[in-house]
Amino acid sequence: MPVLKNIGYLATCRDEGKQQDIHPVREAAIVWQKDTIEWVGPEAELPSRYTGTETLDAGGRMVIPGLVDCHTHLVFGGWRPDEFVLRLQGKKYLEIAQSGGGILSTVRATRKATEQELFEKASRFLEAMAALGITTVECKSGYGLSLEEELKILRVYRRLAEEQPLHIVSTFLGAHTIPPEYEGKRGQYVDLVIREMIPAVANADLADFCDVFTEESAFTIGESRQILTAAKGAGLVPKLHADQLSPGRGAELAAELGAASADHLEKISGAGVEAMARAGVVAVMLPLASLYTQVRPLNGRKLADRGIDVAVATDFNPGSAPSYDLPLAMMLACNRGQLTPAEALKGATICAAKALRRDDSLGSIEKGKIADFAVVDAPDPDFWIYHFRPDQCDMTICSGEILH
Ligand code: NIG
Ligand code: FE
């Protein structure tokens, strides 16, 4: 039974009190058995029955729950550095999308790639993410946009879940944009998503969630409602890309449908905030996407103060957020989104686990939860996020095994 001792500062991130309350224990120890946490507390109180067991030394450093990236588009073909440069020269994300670039350019590249190629590319990302302290990754489809191509991406996620150590949570995002074959026939594409794709995904048990890009340029509120209602009926939990580039009552729809989360929200309205607070929908802040699309970031402070759980994620994808660096997203959530480091830490652990409805087993360091944690070379969360630098994660433990 392994014991991790000499933890200077243990951020348990228990789901109690405000987002600011990370419930730290100083001079702490953690004991786990296989993949499950057995005991957590001050090292001075470590029961003698655990003293003879395999000991790891945290060297007085900080230990946090394994980070949960609750919003990524992990599987994609190609990259889009050309669009990054165009945006820096003044082109807007939407203009690029309207001229056939954007999501559709990645759809072309993803359709060309084999399942094996996509698997290998995503495996490399996951390995690098583990080195940052990440132990759970939500992964969306959405670059296939046909029944076969969407299933291909979701099968890659299933294989990743089986063959590599991080926890993978899959989301079906067939309603990412209208594919070129359905130009001028959007109703038919919505029908295809509802009548063929959702049942196929649900029957093969290839996803837990169904997401929609609710946006002027993608799917209307009415279409999103139709798709997510059908998804719910098939047992997939709704999620939304909401109010990202234009205000569109996406947050209100998330509340109406009882979605697990509404993500982006840079253009959320006051009514949207109230609706989410009342319905208990998690807000997912994606500060890397705000930065790369050059829109004003979401003010997380306003939501947290209203009692909404504010998760922080990367949105990793080749267009609007080409980085999987979750600690960087946390730093931006503070500097540009007004969260405190403690709030950003809960945002990337227990609140993110709630956005994935996995907070019963993931996202905090408590007896009975999965043994996922990271040893970080910092005395506490404030110093960690303030003195931001690469290679801060010295050890990642996932399901009780040392990965990094
Ligand atoms: O979350 N908003 C829609 N989807 C992605 C962007 C995907 C892309 O640009 O390829 C996002 O930002
Ligand atoms: Fe996204």
Helix (H) / strand (E) element for 280: namely none
- Whether ipTM > 0.90 holds is yes
Length of the chain: 404
Please report, rounded to a whole number, the percentage of residues in the chain having pLDDT higher than 70: 100
Residue 169 burial (C-beta neighbours within 10 Å; 0-12, 13-18, 19+): buried
What is the C-alpha to C-alpha distance for residues 20 and 214, in angstroms, rounded to an integer?
30
Residue nearest to atom 5 of ligand 1 (CA): 320
Blockwise average pLDDT, block size 10, the chain, 404 residues: 97 98 98 98 96 92 99 98 96 90 97 98 98 98 98 98 98 98 97 98 98 94 98 98 93 98 97 98 98 95 97 98 98 98 98 98 98 98 97 97 95
Q: How far is the CA of 40 from the centre of ligand 2 (A)?
A: 35
Q: Give the architecture-level CATH label for domain 67-356.
A: Alpha-Beta Barrel (3.20)
Assess contact for 314 and 286: CB atoms under 8 A.
Answer: yes
- Tell me if 387 is assigned to a ligand binding site: no
pLDDT at 53: 86
User: pLDDT per residue over 139-192, tens digit each?
Assistant: 999 999 999 999 999 999 999 999 999 999 999 999 999 999 999 999 999 999
Name the class of domain 3-65+363-402. Answer: mainly beta
Tell me which ligand sits closest to the C-alpha of residue 318. Answer: 1
Q: Which two tokens stand for residue 304?
A: 């947290």
Residue of 315, 316, 324 to test ligand 1 pocket, by largest number of atoms within 8 Å of CB: 315
Q: Where are the domains of the chain?
A: 3-65+363-402, 67-356
User: Residue 145: how many CA atoms within 13 Å on its side-chain side?
Assistant: 27
User: pLDDT per residue over 385-401, tens digit each?
Assistant: 999 999 999 999 999 99
CA 221 to chain centroid, in Å, comes to: 23
Question: How far from each other are the two terminal CA atoms of the chain, in whole angstroms?
Answer: 19
User: Residue 285: how many CA atoms within 13 Å on its side-chain side?
Assistant: 36
**For residue 197, what is the DSSP state?**
I
Q: Amino acid letter at 189? A: Y
Residue of 105, 108, 213 to test ligand 1 pocket, by largest number of atoms within 8 Å of CB: 213
